[in-house]
Amino acid sequence: MGFLQDPPQLAHPYRDDRLLLSMLDRALPPARRGALDADLHALGDYAQMAWQRVGATSRRKPVLTQWDAWGQRIDRIELTPAWQEGPHLTTRHAVLAAGHEASEHARLEQFARVYLYHLASEFYTCPLAMTDGAATALKASGNQALMERALPHLLSRDPANFWLSGQWMTENAGGSDVGRTETLARQDASGQWRLYGRKWFSSAVVGEAALALARPEGAASGPGALALFYVETMDGARRKPELVIDRLKDKLGTHELPTAEIHLEGLPAWPLGELGNGVRQVAPMLNITRTWNAVCATASMARAIALARDYALRRHAFGKRLIDQPLHAQTLADMQAEFEGAFALTFEVAHLLGRVEHGTAAPHEAALLRLLTPLAKLWTGKLAVRLCSEALECFGGAGYIEDTGLPQLLRDAQVYAIWEGTTNVLSLDSLRALAGDQFGALQLAIDGWLADSIDAQARHHIHAAMAAASSYLATHAGQRDALEAGARGLALTLARCTAAALLARHDSWLAPRGAAHAGAALRRFVGHGLSRLSHADPTDTALLLGPH
Ligand code: MFK
């Protein structure tokens, strides 16, 4: 046999990840940092094992069996091995429970676990995200009875006791525009609320609970009249007959995730709070799942770059290793710098979330979190697609071959920009957030992060891009259409300015400890430009979209 190429090897995602290690060293007090180590080592080991399993087994999808041999409706879903292992891994390493501990660092510690677990979990993290969101929304509702009933399950450290929760919002009429929800909530003769309708994307149909938006019978149309309900799906070991699984979706990616279309035929339900303003009540859940989305998108980028870098050390072309080819090295370094910016923003949101939840944040930081959450989600969702695509190209033809395990990275990455609000919906959400004093909060935070920065040029570029964003907002104040048309450019600019300032903060912490790579990431990232503001003429937009 002729030449055989070494496949890429996955370095240990925790022990060998200088970025994750240095971020945790900077952000956590030593005692908490030490206590976290065992779980992160174990989840890194699991991630390496799972990557080897990808190469050694053929891909499987969940299978829905709707009827048993004797004609009984059963709607049984057989899951892949990683999904069967999910409850054990999650509870043993407190992937969910850690985020709800009584510490301002709880969320950062949780999301470090999520970052390591995500790809190995085969997107079991999707229902985990919704479960975390449901627990958070239940706490925010203050509904003691529902909290006492559900939280011990949702946050359990015992796999036998652990429940997953879904988030049932999307319907045929309303994906982004949730206000068009058609599901009806009706009280039966005993006063029990029951839900009737069709949910078009249900990602955690294997879960034991869900939060669902529905319109109480007789309520007005529009989003304000929707109510948020808690439901349970199981009756002992059997799925409740009022929940019917119509079919599993055939998707571009996330194949292991059993996304379903379902019907509700009178499923018992309990309102979380008032019978209205359901979107406002579900917002705490959305902000949590959007944070998970950003962390998982960042984890996909990390995996794609780690494999492409390893391959560049093994693959020879034109007499040299790929890593020694100037243009290939430049390409990888550019990817790394963008990724490090995304990583910095994502984990700042995670840490900030914990501080805001535990009341240790500075006064401006709640407003900051409200703005940075959609920014992190929308930017990382887009960047993951770009970086995973670029990483596949680094393998040449091998990156296009299914059983390398590489194409899956790109197919799966596409979902991050769609889940939990598309890029444009999140850009509009960041405009909603900017209606308060969020811009000032961001400026204050950036000034703080840059206070010790040793890179004057980076400081100059960040200030210039923030000034341009500020003047853009002032110029278009009151012009709703213009603001909306430019919302994506504005959001990306603010995300990039924030990321650059966070890279500068990390550099000023790391450089005195003898490590120069954060400074390199900062210079390269800023070199790619910070402003993405668009000044498009609406007349040209209409001409471009007019009849051809
Ligand atoms: C591995 C990673 C895992 C990630 C999880 C994967 C799960 C995947 C499953 C899904 O994708 S489920 C589908 C997710 N769908 C969405 O995210 C819906 C996207 N659409 C939006 O976000 C719309 O912008 C929205 C539905 C919110 C628009 O609804 P409305 O009713 O027209 O919004 P409106 O009137 O502006 O806001 C209503 C209230 O909610 C306002 O409060 P007030 O009533 O007090 O004024 C808003 O301020 C508040 N609000 C809206 N978004 C908020 C928020 N508050 C805080 N944070 C937010 N993000």
**Residue 386 maps to a domain:** no
Residue 319: which region, alpha, beta or left (left: phi > 0; alpha: psi -120 to 50)? Answer: left
| Mean per-residue pLDDT, 273-293 | 96
Task: Please tell me the distance between residue 416's alpha carbon and the centre of ligand 1 in angstroms.
Answer: 16
Residue ending a domain, choose from 277, 303, 337: 277
Domain boundary among 260, 277, 294: 277
What's the domain range around 483? Answer: 435-542
DSSP state of 178: G
Establish if 189 belongs to a structural domain: yes
Q: Scanning the structure block, which residue is given the tokens 């030449």? A: 3
CA distance 500 to 465: 11
Q: Give the CATH number for residue 199.
A: 2.40.110.20
Half-sphere exposure of 326 (CA within 13 A, CB side): 0
Task: Say how many CA atoms lie within 13 Å of 510 toward its Cβ.
Answer: 23
pLDDT of residue 1: 74
- Altogether, the residues listed in the chain come to a count of 548
pLDDT for 173 beyond 90:
no
Whole-angstrom distance, CA of residue 474 vs CA of residue 222: 31
Segment 205-221, tens digit of pLDDT: 889 999 999 999 999 88
d(C-alpha 90, C-alpha 83), whole Å: 11
Q: Nearest residue CA, atom 13 of ligand 1? A: 420
Span from the CA of 360 to the centroid of ligand 1 (angstroms):
26
240 domain residue, yes or no: yes
Region 407-430: what's the mean pLDDT?
97
Domain boundary among 226, 251, 277: 277
Q: How confident is the model at residue 420 (pLDDT cuts 50, 70, 90)?
A: very high
State whether the beta carbon of 228 lies less than 6 angstroms from ligand 1: no
pLDDT digits (tens, 9 = 90+) for 59-106: 789 999 999 999 988 889 999 999 999 999 999 999 999 999 999 999
Domain membership flag for residue 202: yes
Q: What pLDDT does 170 receive?
A: 85
Q: How far is the CA of 244 from the centre of ligand 1 (A)?
A: 26
* Residue nearest atom 48 of ligand 1, based on CA coordinates: 280
Residue minimizing CA distance to atom 15 of ligand 1:
420
pTM exceeds 0.75: yes
Which token pair is 237? 């070991």
- The per-residue pLDDT for 547 is 82
For residue 422, give the ligand 1 atom closest to its CA.
19
pLDDT band at 339 (very low <50, low <70, confident <90, very high): very high
What CA–CA distance (Å, rounded) separates 174 from 184? Answer: 14
Query: Taking 90 as the threshold, does the pLDDT of residue 178 lie above it?
Result: no
Could you give the 3-state DSSP secondary structure of residue 136?
Answer: helix
Report if residue 388 sits inside a domain. Answer: no
Answer yes or no: is 98 within a domain: no
What percent of the chain has a predicted confidence (pLDDT) above 90? 88
Find the 178 Cα to ligand 1 centroid distance in Å.
Answer: 8
Residues 218-258 pLDDT 10s: 998 888 899 999 999 999 888 999 999 999 999 999 999 99
The answer as to whether 17 is a domain residue is no
How far is residue 155's CA from residue 147's CA, in Å, rounded to a whole number? Answer: 11
The model's pLDDT over 502-511, given as tens digits with 9 standing for 90+, comes to 999 999 999 9
* Per-residue 3-state assignment (H helix, E strand, C coil) for 194-221: EEEEEEEEECCCCCCEEEEEEEECCCCC
Residue with the smallest CA separation from ligand 1 atom 44 is 280
Q: Structurally, how many domains does the chain consist of?
A: 2
pLDDT band at 12 (very low <50, low <70, confident <90, very high): very high
In the predicted model, is pLDDT for residue 548 greater than 80?
A: no
Q: Give the span between the Cα atoms of 290 and 375, in whole angstroms.
A: 10
